[in-house]
Amino acid sequence: MSVTADDVRRIARLARLAEPEDRVEALVGELNGILNWIEQLNEVDVDGVQAMTTPVAFPLPMRKDEITDGGIRDQVLANAPRSDEGFFVVPKSVE
């Protein structure tokens, strides 16, 4: 499988990355280089093989369903690019 310039623009859009038009051709080459290289995985017989989930199997630890954290509004907002009156300030997203 190989990607075209249009594919690169579509992937960039999906990934929410502004790629300047002059980067697109270079990216087509770079992505195809990597994608062609990983094609060799098709040689491996994976019939009946389970996808790996974890190297060491253990039951997921459970804890009591109780509040252990909170009341740290100012800490949560401390690194916000913009905030006001205890809220994040973000661009308008609903007309």
Partner 1 sequence: MSDLLKLSLDEVSTKLKAREVSATELAQEAFAACRAAQPKLNAFTAFDEARSMAMARAADDRIAKGEGGLLEGVPLAIKDLFAVEGIDTSASSNILKGFKPTYESTVTSKLWSEGAVFVAKTSMDEFAMGSSNETANTGPVVNPWRAKDSNESLTPGGSSGGSATAVAADLCFGATGTDTGGSIRQPAAFTGTVGVKGTYGRTSRWGVVAFASSLDHPGPFAKTVKDSAILLQAMSGHDPKDSTSLPNAVPDFVAACGGSVKGLKIGVPREYRVDGMPEEIDRAWQQGIDWLKAAGCEIVDISLPHTKYALPAYYIVAPAEASSNLARYDGMRYGNRVEGSDLNDTYEKTRGAGFGHEVQRRIMIGTYVLSAGYYDAYYLRAQKVRTRILQDFHDAFGKVDAILTPSAPSAAFALGAKSDDPIAMYLNDVFTVTANLAGVPAMSVPAGLDKSGLPLGLQVITRALDEETMFKVGAALEDSAGFTHKPEKWW
Closest-CA residue to 6 (of 26, 31, 36, 28)? 28
Chain centre distance of CA 55: 23
Q: Does 67 interact with partner 1 (rule: CB under 8 A)?
A: no
| Binding of residue 24 to partner 1 (CB under 8 A) | no
Is 5 among the residues that bind partner 1 (CB under 8 A)?
Answer: no
Q: Are 19 and 8 in contact (CB under 8 A)?
A: yes
Options 65, 66, 71, 81; binder of partner 1; rule CB under 8 A: 81
Binding of partner 1 by 40 (CB under 8 A): yes
Place of tokens 């859009």: 13
Strands (E), the chain: 83-84, 87-88
- Chain positions contacting partner 1, by CB under 8 A: 1, 3, 7-8, 11-20, 27, 30-31, 33-35, 37-38, 40-44, 46, 49-56, 58, 60-61, 63, 72, 75-76, 78-82, 88, 90-93
